[in-house]
Amino acid sequence: MAGAIMPESTSFRNIFIEKIEDVALVLLLPLFFVYTGLKTDIGLLNDAEMWKITGVIILVAVTGKFIGSALAAKFVGQNWKDSLTIGALMNTRGLMELVVLNIGLELGVLSDEIFAMLVIMALVTTFMTGPALDLINWLFRSKSAGNVSEEIKEAGKYKVLFSFGVPESGRSLLKLANSLTRKWSPIRALRPCTSHPQTSCLRMIPRSMKRKALPLLFKKLKS
């Protein structure tokens, strides 16, 4: 009723929401949850048969909303990750579920035992949303990570190129590059030669650099 009598003016509606939102969220909403918890007597479920019925209620609730919403999302063209995510979010039951249960209990439609079962179902389906989303993200992240091509992996690596003149300085630069980059990052050394042929430049480089900094790029500069 309150939503139906709200004026069409958006500015007045926003002012009204700002005035009552803090009171509703900070004061009234916690009191409602406390009120619902005080009326829930889990001790009435003192029989194994009662807990079996509770489990069946939870199973039916999850099947109806989680699987039903996921299949509906898949039917309209969503991928499996988005479909399962929609199903997990739709499976959440919270405030509206408790409001309906309280009204049913006050009208005598629900017994105290059924009320307790449905409250447990609402709590379980709400608390399972976070772990379900984490599981969905983990499953599809690991699957997509295995499909990444080697070209994409190579493109994502850091590439280091350094130039040196004296072999000793090249050795120092190589150690510095190895310490600053990851082990699988390719390192290329450039040895400009002005008076020696490339084969002579290759002989001037220490063997340790030949092993660690392969492939080496040598450029002969014309004087």
- pLDDT, residue 194, reads 58
**Which parts of the chain register pLDDT below 70?**
1-4, 7, 142-158, 180-185, 193-223
- pLDDT, residue 150, reads 57
- pLDDT, residue 183, reads 58
What pTM was computed for the model? 0.56
Contact 58, 124 (CB under 8 A): yes
- pLDDT, residue 53, reads 93
- pLDDT, residue 23, reads 83
- pLDDT, residue 211, reads 47
- Spell 17-44 as b/e; 16+ CB within 10 A means b: eeeeeeeeeeeeeeeeeeebeeebeeee
- pLDDT, residue 72, reads 92
- pLDDT, residue 33, reads 86
For residues 223 and 192, what is the distance between their CA atoms, to the nearest angstrom? Answer: 11
